[in-house]
Amino acid sequence: MKGFRISEKNRSDIPENILIERALLKEKLDIIKAGSPQLLRKYINHLYRNESARSVNINTAVKYAREIQAFLKGMIERNVIDKGDIIHIDAKDMEDIYSEDIQDYIDSCGSYVQHAKGGEKVIFTNSTKTLSLKQTCIKSFFTWLYKNNYVEKNETEKLRKILSGDSQSVLTLSDEEVKAVLELASTGECSVYGRCVSLSRKELENHSATRLRDIAILSMFIYHGLRISELQHLNLSSLNFEKGYFEIFRKRNKKKMMYFSRHTVAALKNYMEYERPRENIKPGSEDALFFSSLRNGRSHSRLSVEQIRKLVKKYACKVSMNSKISPHKLRATFATKSLEITGNIFTVQQILDHSSTATTQKYLKDNERAKREVSELINYE
């Protein structure tokens, strides 16, 4: 993979595919650093230098670095900073940035217009979640500058709080929709709420070759609530059918043991026996659990995150008729079902790997049955 190989002296128990992916992300981060001013390079080193010297994980570091680069470019475009390129920005330039400049930049990202080639005006909008991320990245950078005496005051403390409005209920699939998704993956057609759903003619062409794989992947999301990265990293060596568990690597290098659902065991064994390729595998991917299908004479390779996302949408969006359904929504479906069954928020918090119960709590559904009973029983006559 991209010229990387793991040294024979490696003593880490982290799977090789995760180590290689991390090295590729580190290359991206190094490219960003190369095009950044010295101050930003120091801040990026504070965020992430390697796995033993970091404040955040490598994905978060890349995300923060890109957002701050975009912000600094925005300051030059607005003539707040008088420099030809962000590479020349120094501490004095950062002192000249006021809260009004930062607020104006964040507000402008909410909605803006660009001219297309045909002359029409195209409106772009961002969600409050995206704006909150941008503000968080900028505040983190300025807080670091202030704590390290690069600036005399932290202007981001004056920023207006981004209002998200009323919290919306978490998007999940109903029990009937979950059954329909698995049936659609199994047969190519299903019925949900009296509506017939089927794969397109083009989708059916490859369906027989990937049917068991797709069922196994959907089952891992639905019955275990995995993150998409956790599923994508799974290897054959991650599975222990004899003892009934599999291992995953979660955030912060945590290796966790997950117990199989009987549905998942059946789906995985069917896939591994009848469909998982045994030859023509790309070097370095031999231990991968899930593979992409053969195309244009290429070898089988580990299924990518984007391929997994498209796979889930192919089935779940057809059933739910909602284009926003994603692997994370299947994780949310697992979370709400687990809370409904166990009633134990602490157990579900551990299964989902949430740092606090506040995150898990958003998956608690309103008790619709109780609300209906109250509306029927209450009487003032």
Burial environment of residue 39 by CB neighbours within 10 A (0 to 12, 13 to 18, 19 or more): buried
Catalytic residue list contains 227: yes
One of 134, 331, 362, 369 is an active-site residue; which one? Answer: 331
Q: Are 173 and 320 in contact (CB under 8 A)?
A: yes
- Which of 105, 103, 94 is closest to 154 using CA atoms? 94
Residue 316 C-alpha from the chain's centroid: 17
Indicate the pairing of strand 245-249 with strand 255-259.
Answer: antiparallel
Q: Are 47 and 54 in contact (CB under 8 A)?
A: yes
Buried b (16+ CB within 10 A) or exposed e, 256-265: eebebeeebb
Catalytic residue list contains 64: no
Q: How far apart are CA 225 and CA 116, in angstroms?
A: 41
One of 42, 227, 250, 282 is an active-site residue; which one? Answer: 227
Q: Are 325 and 180 in contact (CB under 8 A)?
A: no
One of 251, 256, 313, 362 is an active-site residue; which one? Answer: 251
Catalytic residue list contains 354: yes
Q: Are 142 and 156 in contact (CB under 8 A)?
A: yes
Q: Are 48 and 56 in contact (CB under 8 A)?
A: yes
Catalytic residue list contains 161: no
Helix (H) or strand (E) holding 318: helix 305-320
- Side chain identity at residue 196, one-letter code: C
One of 22, 46, 269, 354 is an active-site residue; which one? Answer: 354
Task: Enumerate the active-site residues.
Answer: 227, 251, 328, 331, 354, 363
